[in-house]
Amino acid sequence: MIPWVTVETLAPEVMSVASVGDVSRNFTSCDRVVQRLLAKTRVLYDTLTTRDITGMIRLVHLRGEDMDLTIPTGAGPHKLVLRPVLGPVGDVHAVRVWLGPVAAPIPPLRPAVGLIWELDTQLIHQPAGIRRLCGVEAEEYVPRRSIAELFHRISKFDRHVEVLDLLYGPVPGQKLQFDVIATSGSARRGHWRITMRARDDERTRGAWWLIEDVTSDTMPSMAPTLDHIGLREAHRRAGTHLAIVQLEHATISHWLTEPAPWVRWDYLFRPVDVFHPGDRARLVDLGGRLASGDAAEVNVRTLNYGGGYTPTSLLLYPYPGYSVRQLTIAQLVHVGDDLPIAQPSKPIGYDEQLRRCRSNRMEHIPAR
C-alpha cells in the first residue's frame, strides 16, 4: 500500500520530511523524497515535476485547506491528495501527501496535531485535536500544559536534557525528532513521533511541534526494568522526591521520582506558580553557585492543593553531564505546617480537570 508522506512546516521557509508511513525520516529533504515518489511512478513525469508538488504543498501550508487533484497519465488517472495538520491557533504545522493511481487504496490518516511551546509562559499550547491521540484521556484535555506534565506522561525516554536545552534556549535552526510511549490513566498506551523546531521570531519565541500517532497493535512490551522498579520503590518508601528544576525560570521541568504529594505542580495556568513569588528570585540567584559545581540548600514555599503554601526544603545539586541551560537536581523535603491562605483563593489552574485526574490516580493505585 502506498504510504502517506508527512512534510513538516514548523519554521518559516522550511520544509522537510518527518515520516513516510510509520517510518521516521528525520528531516530528510522534501525535494529528494518527492523525486523518489515520481521515480516510482514514471508516467507522472509527463505531467508533474518536483517543483509542482512542492508548490502545492506550500499552497496547502498557506491556506490550511485540503487539496485533491486528479492527474491524467498514459497509464490511467492518478490522484494527488494533500491534508494539512493544524496547530492550536490554526497554523499548518505539517502537510501530509499521498500520490498514486486512482484505483489504489489510500491508507487511513493517523491522528496528528501541531503544538507550540511558548518560552515566556513556559507552556505548551495544544489544540483540542490532541484528544484523538492514543495515550490521551479526552476528558482531561486542557489548552495549555507544562513540559513537566508532558514528561510525566511518557516512559522509556532519556533525552530530557536535549529537549529542555532546545525549549529554554531556542535558536532558529535547532531541531529534534524522537519517539515516545505515552500513557494517561485508563487511555490506551500510545506511540508518538515528536518533531520540533526552535523558533525566535515575531510569531513565536520557543518551538513549534508536530506529534504523529504511530501506535500499532504490534508495539513492543514496555515493562519497566528491575533496577527502575527497585529505585522507584526505594525512593517511595524513603519518602524521597527528586525533580529537575530549571533555575533561570524557577520551575519544575521533570520529576525523577513520584511527584511530591504536597506540591501542586500540574494543571496550572502558570508553571512558575509552583514556587511562592517571594522565593523565585532566590532560586534564580543560585544558578551561579551551582554552575561552579557546589550544592546548595534553600527553604522555599511551594504551592499546595489547598491553594496555600507549604514550607519545603530544596537540596540542589548541579545536573551531571552536559547542558547549556541551568538545570539542577532538587530533592524536596516537607519541613513545616502549611501556611494559611492570605487571601480568598482564585482559580490558578484547571481545577475541574485536576480533580478528575487526581480521582483517576487514586482509582489506579493498587491495594497494598
Residue with the larger pLDDT of the pair 144 and 307: 144
pLDDT band of 237, cuts 50, 70, 90: low
CA 322 to chain centroid? 22
Q: List Cβ neighbours of 173 (8 Å cut-off, separation of 6 or more).
A: 198
Mean pLDDT, residues 17-34: 94
The pLDDT score that the predictor gives to residue 322 is 55
pLDDT of residue 367: 39
3-state secondary structure of 195: strand
**Residue 287: per-residue pLDDT:** 82
| pLDDT-derived band at 239, boundaries 50, 70, 90 | confident
Judged against a pLDDT cut of 90, whether residue 79 lies above it is answered with: yes
pTM of the model: 0.91
Counting every residue, how long is the chain?
A: 368
Mean pLDDT over residues 8-23, rounded? 96
Is residue 73 very low, low, confident or very high in pLDDT (cuts 50, 70, 90)? confident
Residue pLDDT, tens place only, 115-139: 999 999 999 999 999 999 999 988 8
pLDDT of 226 over the 70 cut: no
Contacts of 112 (CB under 8 A, 6+ apart): 6, 85, 94, 96, 210, 211, 212, 213
Under DSSP, the state recorded for 268 is B
Task: Flag whether pLDDT at 28 surpasses 80.
Answer: yes
CB neighbours of residue 336 within 10 Å? 12
- Contact predicate 256/161, CB 8 Å: no
Exposed/middle/buried for residue 272 (C-beta within 10 Å: 0-12, 13-18, 19+): middle
Confidence tier at 240 by pLDDT (50, 70, 90): confident
* pLDDT band (50, 70, 90) for residue 288: confident
| Among the listed residues 124, 111, 143, the one whose alpha carbon sits nearest the alpha carbon of residue 211 | 111
Burial letters for 117-151: b for 16+ Cβ neighbours within 10 Å, e otherwise?
Answer: bebeebbbbbbebbbebbbbbeebbbebbbbbbbb
Higher pLDDT, 326 or 10: 10
